[in-house]
Amino acid sequence: MDNTKGKKQLIIEASIKMFCKKGFHKTKVSDIATEAGVGKGTIYEYFDSKKQLFIEMMEYLADQYYNKVLKVMNEEKNITNKFKYYILLEEKIMTKHGDLAQLFMQEAHSIGIDVHQIMGKKRKKLINLIANAIKEGIDKNIFRKINPYTAALTFMGSVHHILYSKIFAKDDFSKEINIEDLHDILLHGIKK
């Protein structure tokens, strides 16, 4: 269990904790080593560089995230509920691991990672997941005939933005936002 795989995992988990807390540049490799309870040199046994560790950590997180969404989308059969539960899942993730969401968006450029290249495929899979649910809704005549990708991106973007506001920005009005409203607006639109 404490074999090679175990130690790599240990380091990744320590890096999640530290990178989330302080960001990429303010986290020292030695911080991660201390957090993981290994020597500084050991990190370089498993990862080529700090940057590479960051990339692998991002991929690991993206996988975890995708799997959670996948589970929700597969388990819930009612179309509109799928979207409701997706929103609830996002809320749960962001409340518990919101700093991860920030990490994803924030660091890539400044590190000089082409985040689109790395995360692209995973993101594509995720969007497809949502878009397929929308397609299904269209096919079942529950949804209007709209571009499912546009709709998926719209839906995801709205959810992220609002939850981000609600959880981080702490505007006075953000507090009053409730998940039902969000669900309602996204499903029914603004217009009468």
Neighbours of 43 (CB within 10 A): 22
Nearer CB in complex with a copy of itself: 10/164: 164
For residue 100, which of 72, 58, 129, 50 has the smallest C-alpha distance? 58
Does 125 participate in binding a copy of itself (rule CB under 8 A)?
no
Contacting residue, 28, 120, 132, 139, with a copy of itself by CB under 8 A: 120
Return residues touching DNA (CB under 7 A). 4, 7, 26-30, 33, 38-42, 44-46, 49-51
Nearer CB in complex with DNA: 39/157: 39
Whether residue 182 contacts residue 161, with contact meaning beta carbons closer than 8 Å, is answered with: no
Long-range CB pairs of 119-125 (<8 Å, 24+ gap) are 119/58, 119/59, 119/62, 122/59, 122/62, 122/63, 122/66, 123/62, 125/66
Whether residue 113 contacts residue 119, with contact meaning beta carbons closer than 8 Å, is answered with: no
Which of DNA, a copy of itself, none does 160 bind, CB closer than 5 to 8 A by kind?
a copy of itself
Does 2 participate in binding a copy of itself (rule CB under 8 A)?
no
Does 173 participate in binding a copy of itself (rule CB under 8 A)?
yes
Which of DNA, a copy of itself, none does 155 bind, CB closer than 5 to 8 A by kind?
a copy of itself
For residue 157, which of 90, 71, 66, 89 has the smallest C-alpha distance? 90
Please count the residues of this chain forming the interface with a copy of itself, following the rule CB under 8 A.
65
Contact residues toward a copy of itself (CB under 8 A) are: 23-26, 80, 102-103, 105-112, 116, 120, 123-124, 127, 131, 134, 137, 141-144, 146-147, 149-151, 153-162, 164-165, 168-174, 176-178, 181-182, 184-192
